[in-house]
Amino acid sequence: MTNSELANKLRDLRDFLIIAGYEESHATRYTQIARFIEKMPENVEDLRREHRFTDIPGVGKLVAQYIREIMETGVSSKQTEWEAYAPVSVLDLVRIPGLGPKTARKLYQEYGIGSLTDLQKADEGGVLADVQGVGPKLLDAIRSQYKSN
């Protein structure tokens, strides 16, 4: 796994946790760690082999374990633990330009929209027109997303 790939996985973990209802201020630490990993000259595979993830600023033993799990299996036990609160498919929502994790959390928690299919049905049923924070520009982005799939 490259530094960039790991950084993207950590950003996905942050987004997923926020959508699932995890405390946002705690989830944002994964963004800071991701930024540092992207800029590191050293390859994360070397850190993994040498068991040195705690050398990364902001990474303690528990986060080092999550990073190791991501590199070995593609998913961390932290994410698995929080899958009881939201499906992983909610990450598809934040891949839509302009739709961030807070809006995705609102869509999931208040409207039960947890996938692109749910999002399309909600749009076609007129539900999205009433969602605060979903304006014409975001609606266009949403529509072009499910039309391209």
Q: Is the dihedral of CA 115, 117, 123, 125 positive or negative?
A: negative
Total-model pTM: 0.91
* Interatomic CA distance for residues 71 and 138, integer angstroms: 33
Q: Which domains does the chain have, with CATH numbers?
A: 3-82 (1.10.150.110), 88-148 (1.10.150.20)
* Interatomic CA distance for residues 79 and 82, integer angstroms: 5
Nearest Cα neighbor of 19 from 79, 76, 64, 98 is: 79
Q: pLDDT (tens digit, 0 to 9) for every residue of the chain, 149 residues total?
A: 999 999 999 999 999 999 999 999 999 999 999 999 999 999 999 999 999 999 999 999 999 999 999 999 999 999 999 999 999 999 999 999 999 999 999 999 999 999 999 999 999 999 998 898 899 999 999 998 877 66
